Structure 1
Amino acid sequence: MKKVFLFFLASILIFLGLVYGLLFTPTGNSIVASYIQNSVNEKLTQADFKVEEFSLTTSKINFVANIDSNSKINISGDLALLSKSVDLNYEVNIKDLSKLEKFTNQKLNGSFFTKGILKGDQKLVDIKGISDIFESETNYDVKLVDFKPSQVNFLVNKAKIEKLLYTLNQPIYAQGLVNIDGKIKNANLDSLDGIIATIITDGKVNNNVVNTAFNQKLKSLISFKGDIVTNLEPNKAISKIDFFTTPANIFVKKATVDLKTMKINSDYLLSIADLSNLYDFTQTKMRGAINLDGNIEKTAKDLKVDGKSNLLSGRFNFNLVNDDLKADIKDIDLRKLTHMMYYPDFFSSKADANVAFNTKTQKGSIDAKLLNGQFLPNEFSTLINTFAKFDITKEIYEEIDLKSDIDKKVINSVINMKSKLTEISVPKSKIDLNKSTIDAQIQTKLKGIEFNTVVSGNLNSPKVSVDTTELLKLKIKKEGKKFIKKNKEKLKEKLKEKLREKLGAEASGQTADDIINGFRAFFGNN
């Protein structure tokens, strides 16, 4: 029995000696380093991982490795095998992230550096460090319980937006600074708890980059800043957002992200204090203010947005499902619309409209009704009054039908309108918002007289051309009637004198009356 015990004890000592020789001697360290290097390169088939230094004793460790000769990992410090605790310093220095594309499956640019300490045991590990990510001053503190994230605190100070975009291999759309203060009590999704505060300052859009990428014509400086407060709950991130830009401001009371499905539900308020600030985006001159509020729902497949606004003394509602937009407009004031768009003030009415538009193809239609319309004094009404002695501004058009087809920024329309004494139709009208031009043909029936009008040229000050042939006839008749009525007796006497000379005294009286009646018949019975 004694021999068996001695053999068993000797076997244990030999095993421990082999383990010690394998792990804690230079020869053993070399074998372990080679094993680590080969294992990493096998798992990361495209890797060029090389262990430069590896030294392990019962109380110390020193590990230095390179990835693709441009990234260094350094770990050194104390360890206690029996208590399973460590007190380590670490440093990761990557000089060129683009060389790691085969590991990240995405091209990254720039450099990355972090260093810190790792201290603890199998029950609790505390990792504290600093980093220069996105050229920031960042520090972090991560606590692991049973090797699972339990608490995460981090502070990112003055991260540069342009460096973030550059690192992610994106065009430098903007520049600015971002500060992030995060305190996460439990990093497990099912019991997530914490708060993250983000502040964006000194933001400026790089117009040249945006113009090239999105075919825009931005010229004015666009600045922005914002505050985002995100509360973390089990499986959810709930944010309140205040985002201020030169053209518009956006406010979100509650944006909820399901962290498992990544579904987003959010309210929003878009506030534009001065529509003239949108000119670079719309290439359309506008004025006034507008507030638009609604909801957003984003899933893996679909985007849904709705909104409403009290617009131009009326109501505006819309629904967007992916690329398809439908809008319902009620009771807007046409004069306020033309004022907002800097168009001539030529017509007064209330308007209802249904709009369908595809944002991808930029094609759609407008079906509108203008109610209780009335012409305002303008070049068109002045011409009619001059030739026909008719004040068209007193006519009321109870219901006007307007149908338009939209093809990008070209709008083709047909209009029909009728009052007690007039009937007007526009069989062809083309407005080109890109060129800011109009080309419209107007057919008018006025007391049985038909004439055409052409409106063309610059949309803000178009040229109005009226075919005055029929109007001149009407004018001649009216002027003739007035002249005959006023000078009837003188005309009779002069005609009688002329008739006496040619026809003789007996027939002259009767014939003069006949001639006067003939003139009256030509110019009308009045």
Structure 2
Amino acid sequence: MKKVFLFFIASIFIFLGLLYALLFTPIGNSTVASLIQNSVNSKIDGKFEVKEFLLTTSNIKFIATIDDNSQIDIIGKLALLKKRVDLNYEVNIKDLAKLEKYTKQKLNGKFFTKGTVLGDEKLTIVKGISDIFGSKTTYDVKLVDFKPSNIDFFVDNAKIQTLLYTLNQPVFANGDLSINGKIKNANILTLDGIIATVITNGKVNNAIVNQAFNQNLKAPLEFKGDIVTTLQPSKAVTKVDFFTTMANLIVKEATVNLSNMNINSDYLLSIADLSKLYDVTQTKMRGILNIAGNLEKTPTSTKVTGNSKLLDGTLDFELLNDNFKANIKQIDIKKLTYMMYYPEFFTSKADVNLAYDLKEQKGEVLGNLTNGQFLPNEYSKLINTFAKFDITKEIYEKIDLKSNIDKKVISSTINMKSNLTSIDVTKSIVNLDKSTIDALIKTELKGIKFDTAVTGNLNSPKVSVDTTELLKMKLKEESERAIKKHSKKLEEKLKEKLGEEAGSQTTQDIIKGFREFFGNGER
């Protein structure tokens, strides 16, 4: 038993001796340096070399390079038994692309940081500075049991373009970004802190965005914003004020569940001038629009709801992934055509239901218009000219509209009736991309049927009326008026010549025969 105990003690001393020789002697240091070097080189696309490695029971010195243009220095004191460190470090990487195997993501540019590590396992303080994303950054991290506890950092004036380049993204925008974070407790279950972000001097790079997203941005698009995130146990609550030359976005409370990454947020999208959306919509508009709603996002779905007061009516919509549905009530058609820069030819109140697939860019519109009335325009003037009929006085109590949307082409049919007219739009094709219209309007007016073609530019279309039947009606009315006029003159002449016999049956028979000869009798 004694021999076994002595052997056990001897084995321990031998092991400790070997461990000491491996870790704390020049030969051991060289061996460890070689192991570190080989391990890192197997993970990065570069040549990692340990220039110096010194480890004793009280000191450490570690100097390494990557391709001779990046260097990592760690120098200081340590007490292994007390688990206490007092280190200075400096990391200067001039080509982050060399670390792709290690980071698992393509990075560009450079990275620099230096600072100190002081403390033990109960409390260790890491302080440092960095130029990350072209900023002047400071950070102060407190570790308890070598786990992050308090974190204070200030990223001062980082460059958005540098951030995008570093993350291997197209430089969609330029601007300045400052982030001030104070995290009192970094444990996700007891999370406590606040992060404030300020964006200034933002400007979208139109050419890059146009190429990446098939857009046609031309006008300068500038932006700025303030974002404040409050950290709470297992969640982050964010308030956003984001302003652009095109539209503003206000978020009072966006909550991110850090356990499952679900997002629930309100929003207010405010557009003070719809004309500034032209580069995105390629459609001329004017007026203002405010939309308020909510967003719900999970790893598998996205749902956005919204509502707005629109054109004296209301708009409610829901977007579930790619499926968009909208319910529009009691909007003013005259104000709609004004907003869209279309000729004002009709006034009515409208209820509309829209279903649209964003991915397929296809959808359907069902509309019900009430108390419709034509406004004075080229169409009404033509009818008045040929038919002596003022169509603007007709009231269309109910109008049915159906449209199919295929990308930017809208095909529609319309049915409408009044006391004296019936109008059917059997074919109407509006091409928003080309800003053209091709429509056929079939009209029945006082028993007379005729067609009207509306073609050409959407903003100033050509209106062509098939006037054959209208001319017949006009000629007939003029003929009747002429016969009546001349028969009256004939009657006066007969009375003048015949004197007392003018009222006889013979005179009346002569006048009747004249009327029947020229026009089928008096109506």
- Whole-Å separation in 2 of the counterparts to 1:348 and 1:316: 19
Structure 2 match to 1:477 = 476
1:341-352 to 2 correspondences below 5 Å: 341-352=340-351
Structure 2 match to 1:487 = 486
- Whole-Å separation in 2 of the counterparts to 1:207 and 1:462: 33
Structure 1, residues 375-417: CA drift from partner, whole Å, max 9, x if none?
1111111111111111111110000011001011111100110
Structure 1 match to 2:33 = 33
Q: How much does 1:64 deviate?
A: 1.1
Structure 2 match to 1:416 = 415
- Whole-Å separation in 1 of the counterparts to 2:8 and 2:165: 63
1:184-203 to 2 correspondences below 5 Å: 184-203=183-202
CA contact (8 A) 2:45 2:100 kept: no
Q: Which consecutive unaligned segments of at least 5 residues does structure 2 have?
A: 496-505
Q: For residue 472 of structure 2, what is the amino acid of its counterpart?
A: K
- Whole-Å separation in 1 of the counterparts to 2:372 and 2:15: 102
Structure 1 match to 2:164 = 165
- Whole-Å separation in 2 of the counterparts to 1:301 and 1:16: 54
Structure 2 match to 1:459 = 458
Q: How much does 1:512 deviate?
A: 5.8
1:83-482 to 2 correspondences below 5 Å: 83-482=82-481
* More divergent stretch after superposition (417-426 vs 63-72): 63-72
Q: How much does 1:490 deviate?
A: 3.0
Q: For residue 222 of structure 1, what is the amino acid of its counterpart?
A: L
Structure 1, residues 482-518: CA drift from partner, whole Å, max 9, x if none?
222222133468999xxxxxxxxxx999566323224
Q: How much does 1:466 deviate?
A: 0.7
DSSP-derived class of the 2:165 partner: helix
- Whole-Å separation in 2 of the counterparts to 1:36 and 1:468: 93
Q: For residue 34 of structure 1, what is the amino acid of its counterpart?
A: S
- Whole-Å separation in 1 of the counterparts to 2:12 and 2:431: 92
- Whole-Å separation in 2 of the counterparts to 1:94 and 1:387: 84
- Whole-Å separation in 2 of the counterparts to 1:5 and 1:321: 73
Q: How much does 1:11 deviate?
A: 8.5
* More divergent stretch after superposition (19-28 vs 223-232): 19-28
Cα distance, 1:18–1:382 mapped onto 2, change above 3 Å: closer
Cα distance, 1:385–1:78 mapped onto 2, change above 3 Å: same
Q: Which consecutive unaligned segments of at least 5 residues does structure 1 have?
A: 497-506
CA contact (8 A) 2:62 2:75 kept: yes
- Whole-Å separation in 2 of the counterparts to 1:4 and 1:475: 130
Q: For residue 422 of structure 1, what is the amino acid of its counterpart?
A: T
DSSP-derived class of the 2:419 partner: coil
CA contact (8 A) 2:123 2:142 kept: yes
CA contact (8 A) 2:45 2:98 kept: no
Q: How much does 1:24 deviate?
A: 3.1
RMSD: 2.5
Q: How much does 1:473 deviate?
A: 1.1
- Whole-Å separation in 2 of the counterparts to 1:368 and 1:12: 89
Q: For residue 187 of structure 2, what is the amino acid of its counterpart?
A: N
Q: How much does 1:8 deviate?
A: 10
* More divergent stretch after superposition (175-184 vs 94-103): 94-103
CA contact (8 A) 1:171 1:209 kept: yes
CA contact (8 A) 1:47 1:103 kept: no
- Whole-Å separation in 2 of the counterparts to 1:244 and 1:135: 24
**Percent identity over the alignment?**
66
Q: How much does 1:329 deviate?
A: 0.5
DSSP-derived class of the 1:382 partner: helix
CA contact (8 A) 1:335 1:347 kept: yes
- Whole-Å separation in 1 of the counterparts to 2:396 and 2:332: 15
TM-score by length of 1: 0.92
Q: How much does 1:261 deviate?
A: 1.0
Q: For residue 26 of structure 2, what is the amino acid of its counterpart?
A: P
- Whole-Å separation in 2 of the counterparts to 1:104 and 1:405: 49
Q: How much does 1:50 deviate?
A: 2.8
CA contact (8 A) 1:492 1:516 kept: no
Q: How much does 1:73 deviate?
A: 1.5
Structure 1, residues 330-374: CA drift from partner, whole Å, max 9, x if none?
000001101101111110100001001011111111000110000
- Whole-Å separation in 1 of the counterparts to 2:14 and 2:446: 122
Structure 1 match to 2:515 = 516
CA contact (8 A) 1:295 1:307 kept: yes
Q: For residue 108 of structure 2, what is the amino acid of its counterpart?
A: N
Cα distance, 1:488–1:32 mapped onto 2, change above 3 Å: same
DSSP-derived class of the 1:487 partner: helix
DSSP-derived class of the 1:218 partner: coil
- Whole-Å separation in 1 of the counterparts to 2:409 and 2:288: 25
CA contact (8 A) 1:368 1:401 kept: yes
CA contact (8 A) 2:487 2:514 kept: no
Structure 1, residues 285-308: CA drift from partner, whole Å, max 9, x if none?
110001000000111111100100
| 1:81 matched to 2:80 | yes
Structure 1, residues 26-84: CA drift from partner, whole Å, max 9, x if none?
23322332233345556x48775432211123322110123455542210011223432
* More divergent stretch after superposition (333-342 vs 487-496): 487-496
* More divergent stretch after superposition (419-428 vs 510-519): 510-519
Q: How much does 1:100 deviate?
A: 1.4
- Whole-Å separation in 1 of the counterparts to 2:469 and 2:398: 27
- Whole-Å separation in 2 of the counterparts to 1:107 and 1:46: 11
CA contact (8 A) 1:249 1:272 kept: yes
Structure 1, residues 116-166: CA drift from partner, whole Å, max 9, x if none?
101101111110011111111111011110011101110001111111111
Q: For residue 35 of structure 2, what is the amino acid of its counterpart?
A: Y
